[in-house]
């Protein structure tokens, strides 16, 4: 993850695209809202590789995540 940086001095330690102050969550939110890669590249001055790195960063937290059903008491 050389394109993603977590530094307490940058954006309060949120993961950002290296060399920018653009948080990963902003990139992901933009994708979720329907923006294209090209629109995100222009809006935030990042590269396609940066966008993919943001997706990969988020995927790390989901891969292997254990899901347990909640106990619901009647």
pLDDT class of 62 with cuts at 50, 70, 90: confident
Q: Quick check: 63 pLDDT over 80?
A: yes
State residue 22's pLDDT score.
Answer: 97
Q: Total domain count for the chain?
A: 1
**How many C-beta atoms lie closer than 10 Å to residue 36's C-beta?**
10
Identify which of 46, 38, 43 has the alpha carbon closest to the alpha carbon of residue 17.
Answer: 46
State residue 45's pLDDT score.
Answer: 97
pLDDT by residue (tens digit) across 7-44? 999 999 999 999 999 999 999 999 999 999 999 999 99
* CATH classification of the domain holding 20: 1.10.10.10
Give the helix/strand (H/E) hosting 24. helix 24-32
Establish if 25 belongs to a structural domain.
yes
- What is the residue range of 37's domain? 4-62
State residue 29's pLDDT score.
Answer: 97
Establish if 55 belongs to a structural domain.
yes
d(CA 35, CA 13): 25
Q: Residue 27: helix, strand or coil by DSSP?
A: helix
Establish if 16 belongs to a structural domain.
yes
Give the pTM: 0.82
Identify which of 21, 68, 72 has the alpha carbon closest to the alpha carbon of residue 44.
Answer: 21
């Amino acid at each position: 993850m050389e394109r993603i940086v977590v530094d307490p001095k940058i954006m309060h330690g949120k993961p950002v695209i290296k060399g920018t102050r653009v948080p990963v969550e902003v990139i992901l939110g933009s994708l979720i809202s329907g923006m294209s890669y090209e629109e995100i590249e222009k809006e935030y001055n990042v590269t396609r590789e940066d966008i993919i790195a943001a997706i990969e960063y988020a995927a790390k937290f989901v891969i292997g995540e254990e899901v347990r059903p909640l106990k619901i008491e009647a």
